[in-house]
Structure 1
Amino acid sequence: MSVYVVSLLATVGGGCFALLLGRFLGTGRRAVAGEFGGQAQSLIGGVLLSSFILLTGFQVAGSWSALSDARSGTYDEARALADTYWAVGGLAPADRDRARALLRTYTDDVRTTEFHALARGRTSPAAWRDLDAVRAAVWAAPAGTAGPQAAKSAAQSALNTVYQTRTDRAAQVKGRMPRVTWIAMLVVGAFLVAFPALLGLTVTPRHLTALCFVGAVVAFAICLSAQLNTAFRQPFGVRSTAFVLADTRFGQIDAGHYTLSPVPPR
């Protein structure tokens, strides 16, 4: 049986149980007259508020955790790109220059093009091709002596990390919180706003102002949860800062003429 069907049956079952209790136990004079005790109002309101807070907290915490993981992954990839850029410095000059040019092309493509695609829920095929070109260039580079062999091995190891973090990003861009929690949060939020009116809220400026504030808070919480639900969509999504840093590191490595050691300094 589908997990959604089980959740629906459980929800309907809980509602029916409450309906039966209210129907057969709520037969006193106050219930017949339509009066509500303060304790009953506090209990129902507290349950509604707690349910909305629980659902909102689950949404925000889950989305924020996914966003933090995605941001950390971009910095891991940028660090691996810098390691690769450094390592290929130990190859022959022509192979070094070709590999470094391809690394710059890949980094620029991710920074300027792919992040726009990530906001729409997909990766860039061009960036994948650029990265494959880097791997092919490193693989084809001759390494007849110990120095180039060590440089080639270090570059390939760093490129493996780049592929791993990039694959993780391709999975993260499709990640979303379960749809059923959105439905539950919308329903509970709407009933939370409507609850005072259902119990006979008096139409006075003070009461209406307080109710409007409740509605604004509920709407803001739902909106914030929706904005955090996509790891690469702005205003809270991951930005391309890590790849700007990688491009800066490339320039620093070039300026320092570091072309011999396959292992970059930390």
Structure 2
Amino acid sequence: MSPYTLPLLSTLGGAAFAFCLGRFLGTGRVTTDGEYGGQALSLIGAVLLSSFILLTGFQVAGSWSALSSARSGTYDEERALTDTYWAAGGLAAADRTAVRGLLRQYTADVRTAEFPELAHGRTSPAAWQALDRVRAAVRTAAAPRPDQQVAKAAAQSALATVYETRTDRAAAVKAGIPRIIWLAMVLSGAFLIAFPAVLGLTATARHLAAHSFAGAAVAFAIVLAAQLNHPFREPFGVTSTAFAFAETRFDQMDGQQR
């Protein structure tokens, strides 16, 4: 059975239940002010508004949390990269040069090549390969002295954190709010905007201005939720600032150890 079957049947069941109650228990009598069931219509409007707020609130809160986690993850990776770079300083000269050069290459690949790919929902195979070359260089580094063994172990530990944070970023690229929630939000927003007109909105300038503002607010909420749902896409997405900072730290460490 499709995972959407139960939500769809539940939605249709709720609509059918409400229709039957309204059809058989409702009244067609006109109130003294010429309106039909003002209290019931107010309730329907409140339910529509509450449903839309619930859906958009869920969307925005979930997407903002994912966006914050993705941004934090880039700085976690930056710290792990700088820790690896620093630890590589304790290796033999040839290994130190090789590992640090490969770390710089990986960082540059992420900053310049991978982040444009992340905006399109995918990671860069070249960046993965560059990171694998770093791991291979650390693994094969000679460490005959105890201090070099300590440095090699520290580099491997920090590099494991780089892999972990990178894997989390790859997962964040593919994550997103389920489509059925998007559909429910768009439909509830559309009916919320249409509700006053369906009831016979008086087409005065003030009423139309207020109705237009309500429509603009609903549309803005939907678009905002959609933009926040992509943690690496403009205008709110995560940028490569953390990796530019890592390159700056690499330069600083090179200057300190000369």
Aligned residues: 257
Which residues in structure 2 correspond to 1:121-140 (within 5 Å)?
A: 121-140=121-140
TM-score when normalising by structure 2? 0.97
2: CA distance, partners of 1:249 / 1:143: 25
1:3 CA displacement: 2.7
- Runs (5+) with no aligned partner, structure 1: 259-266
1:120 aligned partner, one-letter code: H
Give the C-alpha shift of residue 39 in structure 1.
1.8
Q: 1:28 deviation in Å?
A: 3.9
For residues 229-263 of structure 1, give each alpha carbon's deviation from its aligned partner in whole angstroms, at most 9, with x where no partner exists: 111111101111111111111011111107xxxxx
Match of 2:17 in 1: 17
Aligned to 1:244: 244
CA drift at 1:35: 3.1
Q: Deviations over 1:129-170 (max 9, x none)?
A: 110111111111110110110000000000000011111111
What SS does the corresponding residue of 1:173 show, helix, strand or coil? helix
Q: Could you tell me which residue of structure 1 aligns to residue 118 of structure 2? A: 118
The answer for the alignment partner of 1:177 in structure 2 is: 177
Structure 2 CA distance, aligned partners of 1:65 and 1:149? 40
CA contact (8 A) 2:173 2:230 kept: yes
**Secondary structure at 1:30's aligned position in 2?**
coil
**Which 5+ residue runs of structure 2 have no aligned equivalent?**
none
In the alignment, what sits opposite 1:108?
A: 108
Q: State percent identity of aligned pairs.
A: 69
CA distance in 2: counterparts of 1:7 and 1:29, whole angstroms: 35
Q: Offset of 1:29 from its aligned partner?
A: 1.9
AA at the equivalent of 1:176? G
2: distance between equivalents of 1:18 and 1:37? 15
Deviations 1:1-45 (A, max 9, x none): 3331000000000000000011001234229xx832332222111
Alignment-derived partner of residue 141 in structure 2: 141
How far 1:50 moved relative to its partner?
0.6
Cα deviation for residue 89 of structure 1 reads 0.5
Cα contact 2:28–2:36 (8 A) shared by 1: no
Distance 1:80 1:114 in 2: 18
> What TM-score comes out, normalization by structure 1 length?
0.94
In 1, Cα distance between equivalents of 2:238 and 2:63: 12
CA-CA distance at 1:171 after TM superposition: 0.8
Distance 1:41 1:27 in 2: 13
The runs of 4+ residues in structure 1 deviating greater than 6 Å are none
- Report if the CA contact (8 A) 2:29-2:36 is conserved: no
Secondary structure of 2:174's aligned partner:
coil
For 1:225, the equivalent position in structure 2 comes to 225
Matched residues in 1 for 2:28 and 2:135: separation?
A: 79
Task: Provide the residue aligned with 2:48 in structure 1.
Answer: 48
Determine the structure 2 residue equivalent to 1:262. none
Q: Distance in 1 between matches of 2:120 and 2:82?
A: 27
1:97-122 deviation digits (Å, cap 9, x = unpaired):
11101100100110111000000000
1:76 counterpart letter in structure 2: D
Q: CA deviation at 1:67?
A: 0.7
Alignment check: 8 A CA contact 2:84 2:158 kept: yes
Counterpart position of 1:263: none
Letter in 2 for 1:112: T
